[in-house]
Amino acid sequence: MFARRPACVIFLLLVALHPATWADDDRPPAPNVPERFEPDDAHDVLFLASERPIFIRLHVQVDGRSFRSAWRDFGEKLFHELDFNGDGILAGPEWESIPSPDLLVDGTVRGSPQGADSVRANLDVAPPDGLITRQEFTDYLLARGIRALSLEGVGPDRTGYGVGPGGAGEQLFARLDTDQDGRLSPDEFAAGPRVLARIDFDDDGSFSLNELQLGRVNSVAQFQTVTDPRRTVRPAQFIDVSPAESGDAIARQLLDHYDRETPSAGPAQPTKAGDDRLNPAELLLPGDLFSQLDKNTDRELDFDELREIGRSVRPELEIVVRIGRREEGQPGIAVSKKDPILSADVRSSGSGQVAILIGGEQLEMAADGAESSSPLRAQLQQQFKGADRDNNNYLERNEAQRSVFGQVFDSMDDDGDGKLFEREMLAYVGRREAAAGSRCLMAVADQGRNLFEILDANRDGRLGPRELLTAAGRLSAWDSDKDQRLAEREIPTHYRIAFRRAQPNIPGLPFVATVRTRPSPGPATADPAGPAWFRKMDKNRDGDISSREFLGPKALFERLDANHDGLIDMAEAATSGNDAEATGN
């Protein structure tokens, strides 16, 4: 019937349907197409370097999957357990079983219901229609701070002692600075093995963090206080700019870091510190990003304009992070892309760690590998056996009150019979571990200007003679005044960044998680090589023999040390002839 209409009617109808004939106000809204595609494993952060913020995109994988997969699995499992009739929504009687927020966060869906009023106020919000969808449930978990990846500032771990007065970096600088002029010359670095010999307590020819602490310059041993890793403190040097992060928090952190008194870009008076605005001299941004954010074109970014920076991120560094199991040969950390205009030096170690040098800062990154067992479970099982004083294989309340299980007795006692069995304890811990393990942490430790960390090239927690002998050449890039000496202010600020699964924090129970970005100090693990006498004398297994390690006569050492650097390497050892000659027998 439509085909019989006059041609003019059809023509007018087609013209009316054509978008070009509509007024701007009448056009349908454009489809919501994202400006850029972000892979499922991508997470954006800003590193607040001293000169300017650096945009970093992390590609985080856990056991070969996107880090978001485990988090989604966790949320889906909780939702499924609460959705009794399996219809994909929570409604009616199902609301009565939704537990308190703390229990949900810990992966528990039984006990302590929060009540219909609380559910209506906190979960049924988009829209408030009496039906809770998976999206509303997911948004609720996000609002409670349960995210797939969280940034956390932590204190130095037990291998660090690098922050604040008396840290290992300052101790090392003070010992090497023999003329006490506040600068280290090439000669002072070269004399390092001899100067530090007095603190080589295990006589292996290398110098560990523990030895530096035991042989402190001052006579009183003052160890750094380690920050409790259970406290969630946002690192001051990093901003989470993922979509889940508040624009207000991003703007405030940028202002706190860069809002200082500087000459303005225009003829106006110099900008005052704390005026809640950033001009181009205060906030150096790549490309034309500043102009894009400056909506009112006043050459300053105010709070509202800074809120939008997270939506304009264009990564200058892309880093692959592999937590847990990985394929053979895959490193834990790898830089996959670097903007050519970004001045950064990327160094990888054989242990899968990466050091990134940007201006006056060094970022050292590492990712935890797969763990064979849970240290928490083993420790709690021992605690349980010790608390079971009558050896009847369960704890009564009075026994629990005298142990670490006193605060969590009721939570662990699933059937409420007043008896806590080991299986109930392990089931409770298992739920908490599964909930925490669905999330990842980016733990950042500010190690300050730590000379030890910069010199420890192989990241084994100790300094070998060659690391000291070659230090002057390696550190020349930081000699900003080009006087051939290294002042303490020229040492880059060092940040350790560890990526790992989150671990449960159970009130009253021991927290056994550690944050490390390298192995604990121990014997070096260089592959055995060279003649038999060389392998025998190389006590610290660093691939060199110092004069202290050499068992032969001094004249023979000097002859084998062909380049006269004070060390015999494997190449020099290969020219020595037989073992008897080398040992002087």
The string of pLDDT tens digits covering residues 53-64 is 999 999 999 999
Q: What is the pLDDT of residue 273?
A: 57
Alpha helix (H) ranges present in 294-372? 303-306
Let me know if 450 is exposed, middle or buried by CB neighbors in 10 A (0-12, 13-18, 19+). buried
Mean pLDDT of 35-51: 81
Q: How many CB atoms lie within 10 A of CB 381?
A: 14
Q: Poorest-confidence range of 219-228, 278-287, 295-304, 530-539?
A: 219-228
Instruction: Catalogue the long-range contacts made by 390-397 (C-beta closer than 8 Å, 24 or more residues apart).
Output: 393/421, 393/422, 394/419, 394/420, 394/421, 394/422, 395/419, 395/420, 396/420
d(CA 160, CA 162): 5
In-domain check, residue 470 = yes
Q: What is the pLDDT of residue 97?
A: 85
| Confidence label for 463 from pLDDT (cuts 50, 70 and 90) | confident
Cross-strand pairs, 442 = 151, 499
- Do 230 and 505 meet the contact criterion of CB atoms below 8 Å apart? yes
Q: How many CB atoms lie within 10 A of CB 566?
A: 18
| Confidence label for 423 from pLDDT (cuts 50, 70 and 90) | very high
CATH for 562: 1.10.238.10
The string of pLDDT tens digits covering residues 496-512 is 899 999 888 777 666 54
Is 485 in the same domain as 541?
Answer: no
3-state SS class at 327: coil
Q: Poorest-confidence range of 149-158, 314-323, 325-334, 360-369?
A: 149-158
In-domain check, residue 575 = yes
Is 456 in the same domain as 430?
Answer: no
d(CA 578, CA 568): 15
- Do 111 and 103 meet the contact criterion of CB atoms below 8 Å apart? yes
The string of pLDDT tens digits covering residues 191-222 is 888 888 888 887 777 888 778 776 554 433 23
- Do 323 and 499 meet the contact criterion of CB atoms below 8 Å apart? yes
Q: How many CB atoms lie within 10 A of CB 134?
A: 16
Q: How many CB atoms lie within 10 A of CB 391?
A: 6
Mean pLDDT over the full length of the chain: 78
In this predicted structure, the answer to whether residue 520 has a pLDDT above a threshold of 50 is no
In-domain check, residue 269 = yes
d(CA 486, CA 480): 9
Tokens of 201: 């307590």
Tokens 């989150």 sit at which residue? Answer: 502
- Do 92 and 77 meet the contact criterion of CB atoms below 8 Å apart? no
In-domain check, residue 526 = no
- How far, in whole angstroms, is CA 117 from its chain's centroid? 39
d(CA 279, CA 285): 10
In-domain check, residue 190 = yes
Q: Quick one: which of 207, 256, 265 has its CA closest to 235?
A: 256
**Number of helices and strands (H, E) in the chain?**
23, 20
Give whole-number Cα distances, 87 to 80, 84, 90, 130, 536, in Å.
Answer: 10, 8, 8, 14, 70
In-domain check, residue 254 = yes
Q: Considering 289, 312, 335, which residue would you say is the last residue of a domain?
A: 312
Q: What is the pLDDT of residue 466?
A: 85
| Confidence label for 526 from pLDDT (cuts 50, 70 and 90) | very low
- Do 374 and 386 meet the contact criterion of CB atoms below 8 Å apart? no
Q: What is the pLDDT of residue 50?
A: 87
Its pTM stands at 0.72
**What is the residue range of 210's domain?**
168-223+451-490
Tokens of 532: 């038999």
Number of folded domains that form the chain: 4
Tokens of 347: 């160094």
Is 429 in the same domain as 385?
Answer: yes
Q: Considering 290, 312, 334, which residue would you say is the last residue of a domain?
A: 312
| Angle 413-107-234 from CA coordinates, rounded to 5° | 120
DSSP 492: P
The string of pLDDT tens digits covering residues 114-162 is 888 889 898 988 889 999 999 999 888 888 778 899 898 876 543 333 3
In this predicted structure, the answer to whether residue 184 has a pLDDT above a threshold of 80 is yes
In this predicted structure, the answer to whether residue 341 has a pLDDT above a threshold of 70 is yes
In this predicted structure, the answer to whether residue 22 has a pLDDT above a threshold of 90 is no
Task: Give the side-chain half-sphere CA count within 13 A for 288.
Answer: 4
In-domain check, residue 145 = no
CB proximity list for 296: less than 8 A, separation 6 or greater: 305
Q: Are strands 361-367 and 42-48 parallel, antiparallel or unpaired?
A: unpaired
CATH for 251: 1.10.238
Q: Are strands 238-240 and 42-48 parallel, antiparallel or unpaired?
A: antiparallel
d(CA 41, CA 340): 23
d(CA 274, CA 255): 8
In-domain check, residue 288 = yes
Cis peptide before 127 (omega within 30 of 0): yes
3-state SS class at 342: coil
In this predicted structure, the answer to whether residue 315 has a pLDDT above a threshold of 80 is yes
Q: Considering 437, 461, 480, which residue would you say is the last residue of a domain?
A: 437
The DSSP code sequence of 190-239 is: HTHHHHGGGG-TT-SS-EEHHHHHHT-SSSS--PPPPPPTTS-B--TTEE
